[in-house]
Amino acid sequence: MTTSDSDLRPAVESAVPSWRGGFGRLWSAAVASRLGDGLRTAALPLLAVGLTDSPLLVSLVTAAGFLPWILFGLLGGAIADRVDQRRAMWSVDAVRCGLMACFALAVWLDRVSVALLLVLAFVLTTLQTLFDNAATALLPSIVPTTALGRANARLMTGQTIAGTFLGAPLVPLLIGLSAGLPFAVDAATYLLAAALVASIRTAPRERPPRATGRTLRQDIAEGIAVLWRDRVLRSLCTANTVVNIGMGALIATLVLHVTGWLHAGHSGYAAVLTAYGAGSVAGGLVAGRLSELLGRTRVLVAGLALQCCALIVLGTVRSLPVAVIALALFGALGMLWNVNEVTLLQERTPAALLGRVSAANRTLSTAGAPLGALLGGAVATAWGLNTPALAAAALFACGVIVLGPAVIN
């Protein structure tokens, strides 16, 4: 049966999540953790550049952060559905705190190497596969279903502000005091997040009886099957994978687009990144209201179509101010997509399967990013530095074609 937007409209939020109790603590933990992530993400490449002059080795540090999602994302979702999600989250953060504290000590003692950076990035992201899937599954037990959209919007907006506008700008100041300080602060944010999550009190979740001898492989297969049978979620996942290929192509070549094609230099690159972050925050602030007015799935489809237009402008108009506006709009629409995608997944998935279904969706979509990065490099080399943006526009248009018929009559 075709699912129309009107069929989904009753699930759109009409309540505001309370800051008291579990949600306020979860929000604070997420923001604190993202602040530390922002510090580490900005500091690691600087550390890598100081250790090697090989572009390949520097890029491998970033690639090591993608690989665990492809290898272990489905496993992380299966485990998240088997365990207490709150306990899994604070335990993971406690382990990450210990790892970052040890790494900060290694930096202070001048005992770091590129190999250590690769191992650290890989292990941290491996732990993140469990943490993120558990967090997605935990939120519906903390806030009412009708408040999920606004709760997700507030979480993502707070994280964007902390990571983009607080974390990254602090790195030069902290490194000026000590090279290991950004990583020590990251460890402290993990410890704070672990304490906050551990203090959340939720009602015990009712779990259906598990068949004796049931394996993790069977659990994973069940999550994939549920995702595939739901026409809306299947189309959403397919569109997300295609779109992430375009995102990978854009992100991998954006610095070349701005500094090479626009001739805007490092300051121009900083300007478009800031515009993208500011747009993301603006999108998070209006995501709940727009979903109420238009319906969640209409926002998803219309947002993708407008992002396609922004990419076409970015790839055809040779002007830094236009690029700044295009990236700000692109960031705002991207946040609308993220909020509504996660909320729709939470609304349409049985609670006992949410970790696995979320993992299947995230793993498939994440796999598109490194493929897109390779595509972007090849397209830029063959046809010019502005063409990855146009290739991304074409992929976003494909996402609209995939998603539109499944959710709107």
The answer to whether 323 and 272 are in contact (CB under 8 A) is yes
pLDDT of residue 78: 86
- CA nearest to 92, candidates 160, 193, 182, 23: 193
Q: Residues 6 or more apart from 331 whose CB is under 8 A from it?
A: 275, 276, 277, 278, 279, 280, 282, 283
What is the per-residue DSSP string for 86-155? Answer: HHHHHHHHHHHHHHHHHHHHHHHTT---HHHHHHHHHHHHHHHHHHHHHHHHHGGGTS-GGGHHHHHHHH
Q: For position 50, what pLDDT does the model report?
A: 77
Query: Domains in the chain, ordered, with CATH?
Result: 22-200 (1.20.1250.20), 218-407 (1.20.1250.20)
- Please give the chain's pLDDT, 409 residues, in tens: 333 343 444 444 446 677 776 888 889 988 888 888 888 877 877 777 677 766 566 656 666 777 788 888 888 888 888 888 888 889 999 999 999 999 999 999 988 888 898 888 889 888 888 888 888 888 888 888 888 888 888 888 988 888 888 877 787 788 888 888 989 999 999 999 999 999 988 765 555 555 556 788 888 888 889 989 999 899 999 999 999 999 988 887 888 888 889 998 878 887 888 899 899 999 988 988 888 888 888 899 999 999 999 999 999 999 999 999 999 999 999 999 999 999 989 889 888 888 888 888 888 888 888 788 888 888 888 898 899 999 999 999 999 999 988 766 5
